[in-house]
Structure 1
Amino acid sequence: MSSESRTLDSRGKRKSPSVVLPSAGQSVDDRWRLAYVNGDLFSCPAEEALAHCISEDCRMGAGIAVMFKKKFAGVAELKDQKKVSGQCAVLKTNGRFVFYLITKKKYNQKPTYESLKQSLEDMKSHCVTNGVTRISMPRIGCGLDRLKWSKVAEILEEVFKHTNVSITVYSLPEKTETTVMKEFMRR
């Protein structure tokens, strides 16, 4: 599957036609980057960390969280971490970190921009401490959770702008995304 990569500003406006991020282990110039890719999140390089949003109860019963649950398991380990809204639970599997941004108390609630920001701050601390410089994620908080991407992108910039963490946001092509979301809503 081919992927299209482009960089957008915090409001989602196109900045340049493409961007090539440094590979793991390459030096970066101490500034964060936000890149966009149309494609499957789970096709990202194996050395990149992954991130997505969940609730404190770790239910992960809808949306892309179902795929994370199937692919990485570890629900008991996540629950044992006793993280609350505004924090970030972490699994390490096959040499990569998987970040679970806790943005709400229960699965049927909606997150706030503040709880998302707090969980991103917690993830940033983990990244800095553990040398994580590349994270791939979906448009966090914007699918079933209904946050607006333009605001989420501004929060990502605010949190990561003084780091060397590069974030790649994956989006499925619209038709595929609609089909996948409908399939998970039926479960």
Structure 2
Amino acid sequence: MASGNSTKEGFQLEEKTGDLFTCPATSSLAHCISQDVRMGKGIAVPFKKKFGGVEEIKKQGVKPGGVAVLKRDGRFIYYLITKVKYSDKPTYDSLRASLEAMKDHCLKHNVKTVAMPRIGCGLDLLKWEEVSIILVETFHDTDICITVYSL
């Protein structure tokens, strides 16, 4: 198996320390929210401030296991809907289904790079060891590069 640096094509999962919002302006972004689109805590707050679109997201009517999408400055902002209410906790299954929905959108719209936090692992208390496996299982057959930022 060739090392990641020798091939231009193929899935990559990269982890970086730093501010997610310093990612390249060409990268799409992703994070988890609830169906009620409260976005009042955690990384959802700067997403809401930077990209707005709360009503636009609500109008999409996405249920847990789906993904709401905003287009901003030529890139997509993915809102993985992983639970009904902000006070609920997601499951690995709802996260996996949301990631599958995001993958489908990425493939249809030729998205090659997605930046995200350690999704589901902050306030939602999922374990990164499990989430990273789900990311690999979901995207391994694509040529999408996912960069995960943690502070």
Q: TM-score, normalised by structure 2?
A: 0.95
| Alignment-derived partner of residue 153 in structure 1 | 132
User: Hey, what's the Cα distance between the residues in 1 that align with 2:145 and 2:8?
Assistant: 9
User: Hey, what's the Cα distance between the residues in 2 that align with 1:113 and 1:99?
Assistant: 18
Aligned residue runs from structure 1 range 34-49, under 5 A: 34-49=13-28
Match of 2:8 among 15, 18, 28: 28
User: Hey, what's the Cα distance between the residues in 2 that align with 1:150 and 1:32?
Assistant: 18
Consecutive unaligned residues of structure 1, counting only runs of 5 or more, are 1-15, 21-26, 173-187
| Alignment-derived partner of residue 80 in structure 2 | 101
User: Hey, what's the Cα distance between the residues in 2 that align with 1:42 and 1:96?
Assistant: 13
| Alignment-derived partner of residue 163 in structure 1 | 142
Match of 1:62 among 37, 41, 65: 41
Deviations 1:39-83 (CA, angstroms, capped at 9, x unpaired):
110000000000000000000000000010000000000000000
Deviations 1:81-139 (CA, angstroms, capped at 9, x unpaired):
00000000000001010000000000000000000000000000000000001000000
- Counterpart residue type for residue 151 of structure 1: E
User: Hey, what's the Cα distance between the residues in 1 that align with 2:22 and 2:134?
Assistant: 25
User: Hey, what's the Cα distance between the residues in 2 that align with 1:28 and 1:79?
Assistant: 38
Consecutive unaligned residues of structure 2, counting only runs of 5 or more, are none
Match of 2:32 among 47, 53, 62: 53
* Number of equivalences: 149
- Counterpart residue type for residue 51 of structure 1: A
**Aligned alpha-carbon RMSD (Å):** 1.6
User: Hey, what's the Cα distance between the residues in 2 that align with 1:126 and 1:119?
Assistant: 11
Larger gyration radius, structure 1 or structure 2: 1
- Counterpart residue type for residue 40 of structure 1: D
Q: TM-score, normalised by structure 1?
A: 0.77
| Alignment-derived partner of residue 83 in structure 1 | 62
User: Hey, what's the Cα distance between the residues in 2 that align with 1:115 and 1:134?
Assistant: 22
1:144 Cα shift? 0.3
| Alignment-derived partner of residue 107 in structure 2 | 128
